[in-house]
Amino acid sequence: MFRYKIFTLIVCTCMVFVLSTDNPVTRKLLELDEVTQENNRQELNLDKFLAAASTDYLLAVPPKATGFPITISDCLKGSVLQLVNIKVVPTELTKGKPISMKAQGVLKEDRDVSNLHIEAFYNGEVIFKNDVDKTAHVNKGPYSFAYDNNVPTFTPAGKWETYVYLMGGKDKTEKLACILATFETS
């Protein structure tokens, strides 16, 4: 619920700025000093918009994105799935780019796997939860799982923690393993 409020707030803020008469691109596009109206509608000219955008700032080269180091760890040591290798690709987070977390381990007993349960915390508060189906019966031995996602460009600055739980068992509530990715953005 909280993530929808943040997303709505960001979208509304962007729309207010874009439609604001203080926005130089909007002023140039709509020629607010010389508005041409036809049947009570403003005439929009795509060429004029592109010219205004390129001369002002919209098509300017964005500053080079800097990566934020990602720390990844086993957050459920001693579980039924003993992790032997966990990694994240890339090792530095860049807003607007994909991220992949992978875990390999040894399952100590046969288990029914149900899903991956993901919880993302922003400055200590849960803002995102998701479940990804991974239904399977897995025999004792080697087992691996992965979680891939994209990091939105509008990700706010702060401390982030993402927990990826491998869930299973007869009631599908047993935590079989957990990987934790932490990073900070500015």
- In this structure, what DSSP letter does residue 61 have? P
Same domain, 95 and 165: yes
Q: What band does 46 get if pLDDT is binned at 50, 70 and 90?
A: very low
Enumerate residues 6+ apart whose C-beta is below 8 A from 29.
44, 45, 48, 49, 52
Per-residue pLDDT tens over the stretch 138-175:
999 999 999 998 888 888 888 999 999 999 988 889 99
First to last CA, the chain: 24
The pLDDT of 110-131, averaged and rounded, is 93
Per-residue pLDDT tens over the stretch 47-98:
554 454 444 444 444 444 457 899 999 999 999 999 999 999 999 988 888 9
Same domain, 152 and 109: yes
Q: Which residues pair with 135 in a beta bridge?
A: none
Q: What band does 113 get if pLDDT is binned at 50, 70 and 90?
A: very high
Q: What is the CATH number of the domain that holds 114?
A: 2.60.40.770
- Give the per-residue pLDDT at 144: 95
- Give the per-residue pLDDT at 129: 93
- Are the C-beta atoms of 163 and 119 separated by less than 8 Å? yes
| Whether residue 135 has pLDDT greater than 80 | yes
Per-residue pLDDT tens over the stretch 1-43:
656 566 555 654 555 444 444 555 544 544 444 433 333 333 4
Closest C-alpha among 156, 161, 146 to residue 85? 146
- Give the per-residue pLDDT at 147: 93
Q: Find the domain containing 51 and state its range.
A: 2-56
Domain count, the chain: 2
Residue where one domain finishes, among candidates 17, 35, 56: 56
Q: Tell me, what amino acid is at 93? A: L
- Are the C-beta atoms of 165 and 116 separated by less than 8 Å? yes
Sign of the C-alpha dihedral, residues 92, 97, 100, 101?
positive
0.75 cut: is pTM over it? Answer: no
Q: Is 136 inside any structural domain?
A: yes
Residue where one domain finishes, among candidates 11, 32, 56: 56
Q: Report the residue count for the chain.
A: 186
CA gap 112, 148 in Å, rounded: 22
- Give the per-residue pLDDT at 152: 83
Here the tokens at position 130 are 């998701």
